[in-house]
Amino acid sequence: MKDEGFQEKIMKNVAYIDGANLHNGVKQLGWTFDYKRFRVWLREKYEIEQAYLFLGLVPKYKDLYTYLQEIGYTLVFKEVIFDNEGKAKGNCDADIVVLAMRDAYENKFDNSILISSDGDYTPLVKFLIEKNKIQTVISPYETSKCSVLLKRTGVKISYITDQQTILEKQKEKAPSGDKTSQGSFS
Distance of CA 27 to the CA centre of its chain: 14
Contacts 24+ apart (CB under 8 A), 86-93: 88/56, 88/58, 89/56, 90/20, 90/55, 90/56, 90/57, 90/58, 91/20, 92/18, 92/19, 92/20, 92/54, 92/55, 92/56, 93/18, 93/118, 93/120, 93/121
Q: Please give the domain boundaries of the chain with CATH numbers for all domains.
A: 13-167 (3.40.50.1010)
Give φ, ψ of 176 to 5 degrees: -80, 180
Average pLDDT estimate for 142-168: 93
Question: How many Å separate Cα 167 from the centre of its chain?
Answer: 12
Residue 102 pLDDT greater than 90, yes or no = yes
Q: What is the DSSP string of 108-154?
A: --SEEEEE---GGGHHHHHHHHHTT---EEEESS-GGGS-HHHHHTT
Q: pLDDT tens digit string along 141-151?
A: 988 899 999 99
Q: Is the pLDDT of residue 9 over 80?
A: no
Report pLDDT digits (tens) over 29-61.
Answer: 888 999 999 999 999 999 999 999 999 998 899
Which pLDDT score is estimated for 176? 54
Percent of the chain residues topping a pLDDT of 70: 86
pLDDT tens for each residue of 12-30: 899 999 999 999 999 998 8
The reported pLDDT for the residue numbered 1 is 46
